[in-house]
Chain A
Amino acid sequence: MVEATRLTATGRSLMLDVPGWGGNLAGQHADVRLTAPDGYQAVRSYSIASADDGDRLEIAVDRLPDGEVSPFLVDAIEVGDQVEIRGPLGGWFVWRPEEIEPVLLIGGGSGVVPLMAMVRAHEAAGSPAPFHLVYSVRSPDDAFFAEELAGATGVDVTWIYTRRAPSDWPRPAGRLAATDLQALESSGGQTPSVFVCGPTGFVEAVADTLVAIGHDPARIKTERFGGA
């Protein structure tokens, strides 16, 4: 681990230097394995926030209260420490720069991490594909990468605050609803490819809503995460 940045009160970004990694696609994940002094091992999957061809990768982790691995990654691991990494993993929940159709990204909480890799890959490639990110967070304090997203080019970002919105925010705090997604619909033309990532309940509610408002289920890719 070569660098760590606090993202929120419970979230941290870790930059890992992995000789021979050789890069990864946007949306892929890595398995992190920790081994305790007594030999006990725990493996968890984390999405990769970076997407390039180098030997460094960035993972962003949210601490879960009952987690076995995430508290260590958020609070304990220090620059210079080593962990075991397996990856890059997954070839389905990925966006490739040669894809030029419109893309709708919908992230809940730390589910934004693989979508951030897609936003970065899209920007780095100067891709002409229309990109729209819908990012659902409890409050402004819970957002990962807010500053970077504010300055990102080539992507429209819609913020959904579920519990507390900024004081001057036009939309009252509340869960992502069909009306929020329909509002996007009217501003676009072609039906987009959709990537949804977040906690299981979020992902399934969003996917059901998308189908209900007319999206083709075959063009919706989902990735769920749980306790880790």
Chain B
Amino acid sequence: MTSHLDGNVLAGALSELTGSDPTDTMSQCLGCHDVAPLAAELVYGNPDAWVVRCRHCDDVLLVVVHHDTATVVTLDGVRWWTELD
């Protein structure tokens, strides 16, 4: 895959971890403080390893890596993360 996608593509992988749909989860970028739903953020990589970047400043928000037995998610660039009802 040469281009980026968006957070919609992470619905399957992340819902297995959180038990709910992540695409309308709002988060704030630690770098620029932009607030957006995951679906609107930019996603690079492939189904084995995704990097999610802020739609506004391009900083890395989170990384999702699949290993044989586990999925590891790091949220280093996220200031806060919340689900809306």
Chains A and B bind each other: yes
Bound form: Cα–Cα A72–B33 in Å: 43
CA distance A42 to B66 in the complex (A): 12
Stretch at the interface among A90-98, A125-133, A148-156, A167-175: A90-98
A residues with CB within 8 A of B: 29, 31, 42-45, 86-87, 89-93, 199-201, 221-227
Residue contact A93 to B23, C-beta cutoff 8 Å: yes
B24 & A200 in contact (Cβ 8 Å cutoff): no
Those of B1-48 within 8 Å (CB) of chain A? 1-6, 8-9, 11-12, 15-16, 21, 23-24, 37-40, 47
Q: Sorted from nearest, which 5 A-B pairs have the closest CB atoms?
A: A89-B11, A31-B12, A91-B21, A92-B39, A92-B23
Subset of 19 A-B contacts with CB under 8 Å: A31-B12, A86-B12, A87-B12, A89-B11, A89-B15, A90-B11, A91-B21, A91-B24, A92-B8, A92-B23, A92-B24, A93-B39, A200-B4, A222-B40, A223-B8, A224-B4, A224-B6, A224-B8, A226-B5
**Which secondary structure dominates where chain A touches chain B?**
strand
Contact between B8 and A29 (Cβ–Cβ < 8 Å)? Answer: yes
Q: What CA separation (Å) do A210 and B38 show in the bound complex?
A: 21
A227 touches B2 (CB 8 A): yes
Interface pair B21/A89, CB less than 8 Å apart: yes
**Chain B residues in 8 Å Cβ range of A90:** 8, 11, 21, 23, 39
B47: which A residues are within 8 A, CB to CB? 42-44
B interface residues, Cβ below 8 angstroms from A = 1-6, 8-9, 11-12, 15-16, 21, 23-24, 37-40, 47
B23 contacts A225, C-beta separation under 8 Å: no
B-chain residues with CB within 8 Å of residue A224 when the two chains form the complex: 4-6, 8
Are B5 and A29 neighbours in the complex by a CB distance under 8 Å? Answer: no
A45 to B12, CA, bound (A): 8
A199 to B6, CA, bound (A): 11
Tell me the nearest residue of chain A to B24, going by C-beta: A92
Contact (Cβ within 8 A) B12 A200: no
The answer to whether A45 touches B9 (Cβ under 8 A) is yes
How far, in whole Å, are A207 and B2 apart by their CA atoms in the complex? 20
Residue of B nearest to A43 (CB): B47
Interface centre among B4, B6, B12, B21, by most chain A C-beta atoms within 10 angstroms, is B12
